[in-house]
Amino acid sequence: MIKLVLTDEIWKLAMNESNRKQRFQTTVMPHINSAFNLARWLTRGNQEAEDIVQEAYLRAYKFFDSFHGEDGRVWLLGIVRNTFYTWHHQNKLQTQFVEFDEELHGSEANENLRDDEYNPENILIQKDNQRIIQNALNQLPIEFREVMVMRELEELSYKQIAEITQVPMGTVMSRLGRGRKQLATLLHSGINNGGGHNEP
Amino acid sequence: MGGGIMNHEEALNQIAAYIDNELSISEADTLAKHIADCKVCQLEYETQINTISLVKKNANYFEATPMFLSQLDQSIHESVGKSTPKNVIQKRWNINFGISWANIGTMMISLIALVWSTSLFLAIPNTEERLTDELISSHVRSLQVDHLSDVISTDKHTVKPWFNGKVDFSPSVIDFAESGFPLEGGRLDYVNGKTVAVLIYRHNKHAINLYVWPENNKDHQIKEESRHGFNAFQWVYQGMQYWMISDLEEGKLESFANRVQDEIIKSRPQG
What pLDDT does B133 receive? 78
**Which residues 84-143 in chain B show a CB within 8 A of chain A?**
84, 89, 97, 104, 107-108, 111-112, 114-116, 119-120, 140
Q: How far is CA B3 from CA A97, B6, B22, B24, in A?
A: 51, 8, 17, 11
What pLDDT does A200 receive? 39
Q: Which of A14-23, B26-35, B153-162, B257-266 has the lowest mean pLDDT?
A: A14-23
| Higher pLDDT, residue B25 or A8 | B25
Q: What is the pLDDT along chain A (200 residues), one digit of tens a residue?
A: 444 455 666 666 666 777 788 888 888 988 999 999 999 999 999 999 999 999 999 999 988 888 887 889 999 999 999 999 999 988 876 654 443 343 344 444 444 444 444 444 444 566 688 888 999 999 999 999 999 999 999 999 999 999 999 999 999 999 999 999 999 999 887 655 544 443 43
**Is the CB of residue A49 less than 8 Å from the CB of residue A43?**
yes
Residue of chain A whose Cα is closest to the Cα of B82: A62
**Is the CB of residue A42 less than 8 Å from the CB of residue A84?**
yes
Tens digit of each residue's pLDDT (9 = 90 or more) over A54-103: 999 999 998 888 888 788 999 999 999 999 999 998 887 665 444 334 33
Phi/psi for B167 (5° steps) reads: -130, 155
**Which residues 230-249 in chain B show a CB within 8 A of chain A?**
230, 247
Taking an 8 Å cut-off on Cβ atoms, the answer to whether B228 and A32 are in contact is yes
What pLDDT does A137 receive? 94
What pLDDT does B215 receive? 86
Which of chain B's residues have a Cβ under 8 Å away from the Cβ of A2? 97
**Is the CB of residue B34 less than 8 Å from the CB of residue B60?**
no
Q: State how far the Cα of A4 lies from the Cα of A16, in Å rounded to an integer.
A: 18
Residue of chain A whose Cα is closest to the Cα of B140: A33
What pLDDT does B112 receive? 66
Kindly list the structural domains of chain A, giving each domain's residue range(s) and its CATH number in brackets, ordered by start. Answer: 1-97 (1.10.1740.10), 98-200 (1.10.10.10)
- The interface pTM score, or ipTM, of the predicted complex is 0.76
Provide the percentage of residues in chain B whose pLDDT is more than 90.
35
Question: What is the band of B5 on the pLDDT scale with cuts at 50, 70, 90?
Answer: low
**Is the CB of residue B173 less than 8 Å from the CB of residue B159?**
yes
| Higher pLDDT, residue B266 or A16 | B266
- A200 contact partners, CB below 8 Å, separation of at least 6: none
User: Residue B211 forms beta bridges with which residues?
Assistant: B198, B243
Taking an 8 Å cut-off on Cβ atoms, the answer to whether B13 and A173 are in contact is yes
pLDDT(B89) > 60 = no
What pLDDT does B49 receive? 94
Q: State how far the Cα of B254 lies from the Cα of B231, in Å rounded to an integer.
A: 9
What pLDDT does A157 receive? 95
Tens digit of each residue's pLDDT (9 = 90 or more) over B133-184: 788 877 877 776 556 677 777 778 888 888 887 888 888 899 998 889 999 8
Distance from CA of A60 to the nearest CA of B (A): 10
**Which residues 29-68 in chain B show a CB within 8 A of chain A?**
44, 47-48, 50-52, 54-64, 68
User: Residue B151 forms beta bridges with which residues?
Assistant: B186
| Higher pLDDT, residue B95 or B204 | B204
pLDDT(B26) > 70 = yes
Q: What angle do CA A16, A20, A22 make, to 5 degrees?
A: 115
What pLDDT does B163 receive? 87
Residue of chain A whose Cα is closest to the Cα of B60: A130
Residue type, A36: F
What pLDDT does A177 receive? 96
Phi/psi for A193 (5° steps) reads: -105, 25
Q: State how far the Cα of B7 lies from the Cα of B3, in Å rounded to an integer.
A: 11
- Mean residue pLDDT across chain B: 80
Tens digit of each residue's pLDDT (9 = 90 or more) over B208-236: 999 999 988 888 889 888 776 788 999 99
What pLDDT does A25 receive? 83
What pLDDT does B30 receive? 93
* 3-class secondary-structure state, position B215: coil
